[in-house]
Amino acid sequence: MSLIKTSQKHEIASRFTSCDRKVDADQGALERVRQYREMLVLRLGDQAMNFRTILAPIGVNHLEKDLRQAIVFSEAAQAHLSILVVAMAAPPPVGGYGEFVSAAWLEEREGDLTKLADAVETAKASLSQSGLSYDVQDLYTEYAWAGEDIAPCALYADLVLVGAGAAADVQFSKRVIDGALFQSPTALLFNPTDRPATMTPRSIVVAWNSRMEAARAVQQALPLLKAAEEVHVTMIDPTETASSNGEEPGADVAAYLARHGISVVVDVLSGQGKGVAQMLAQHAVDVQADLLVMGAYGHSRLREFVFGGVTRTMLETAKLPIFWGH
């Protein structure tokens, strides 16, 4: 394990904000310290946040919870918030679109459109009271086409945010990740928790394997990594080869992060026959991480993007926010 010290400005931020770990009894005080810490970090010159446009695809059934999380996160980032309210249409009851369809199915689709329009108005009303720069779009699509329909919206965002409601709906979140992450160059922040993701996480675990996807995730997550008190670059059974990890696995990425003023710890773990997803999840608990940064892996098959094993497992079982790059 090696430690690389942070920059002077980040040391100042940590000194002012380390008291949040010493306050146990007064939860209100904890929250006030957290708010002050977020304000302080946002004002530091080398902590400038680069997420200027945040896209939040929200299902009509997840609106209240996910909209609140998106607003809180975007306010902390001082970003423009683009809301994409999504309704998934039921497939026709018979094979082809040219064949007869039932009146009940047509009525169901009309009901979907009404529900979608109501959700859009609700979102606009909430956002108008937030003080944020925002826009609201709607999307009525089918599961088979949802990824392709969501992808163009992600082209014009710095970050895609998936909230707790969408995260709990695995089929919905898979379509969002398929389109927003795998069919665009934009990173995605997946938050399965009830609390809004924070712009100033105390501790971050970076899942590192020297592959392009992991490197892209690290680069895209720099605004969050710079704001953290400590970053754990975590490797599981790395191989020491010139073509991947070099003679000292983790040293290269640690040096890269240190040049950005980030406090880095390199953790080399032994898998001991356990799955990578299980190891990462447990290590995040051990270091009390607020966020996991990792590459997303998969491959295209016909019209569906098939997630890699670790990506799929983390999607289905994650207990903390995950920042994915691809």
Task: Render each residue's pLDDT in the chain as its tens digit; 326 residues.
Answer: 434 333 333 333 333 333 333 334 455 554 554 554 454 444 443 444 589 999 999 999 999 999 999 999 999 999 999 999 999 997 777 655 545 567 777 888 899 999 999 999 999 999 999 999 999 999 999 988 999 999 999 999 999 999 999 999 988 998 999 899 889 999 999 999 999 999 999 999 999 988 899 999 999 999 999 999 999 999 998 877 656 666 788 899 999 999 999 999 999 998 888 888 899 999 999 999 999 999 987 555 444 445 557 888 888 889 999 999 98
Question: Which CATH superfamily is 53-92+100-190 part of?
Answer: HUPs (3.40.50.620)
The tokens describing 74, both together, are: 């975007």
307-317 burial, b at 16+ Cβ within 10 Å, e below that, comes to beebbbbbbee
CATH code matching the domain that covers 2-15+199-321, chosen among 3.40.50.2000, 3.30.479.30, 3.40.50.620, 3.40.630.30: 3.40.50.620
Element (DSSP H or E) covering residue 323: strand 322-325
pTM of the predicted model, to two decimals? Answer: 0.80
| 322, HSE (Cβ side, Cα atoms, 13 Å) | 27
CB atoms within 10 A of CB 83: 28
At 156, the amino acid letter reads: Y
CA angle 60, 63, 66 (to 5 degrees): 135
CB atoms within 10 A of CB 213: 18
Separation CA 225–CA 325 (nearest Å): 14
> Whose CA is closest to 4, among 305, 250, 268, 269?
250
CA angle 283, 287, 291 (to 5 degrees): 80
Question: Beta strand 298-301 with 304-307: parallel, antiparallel or unpaired?
Answer: antiparallel
25-61 burial, b at 16+ Cβ within 10 Å, e below that, comes to eeeeebeebeeebbeebbebeebebebebbbbbbbbb
Three-state DSSP class for residue 182: coil
Q: Which residues contact 197 (CB under 8 A, 6 or more apart)?
A: 69, 73, 161, 189, 191, 291, 321
Residue 131: phi and psi, rounded to 5, are 85, 0
The ranges of the chain annotated as CATH 3.40.50.620 are 2-15+199-321, 53-92+100-190
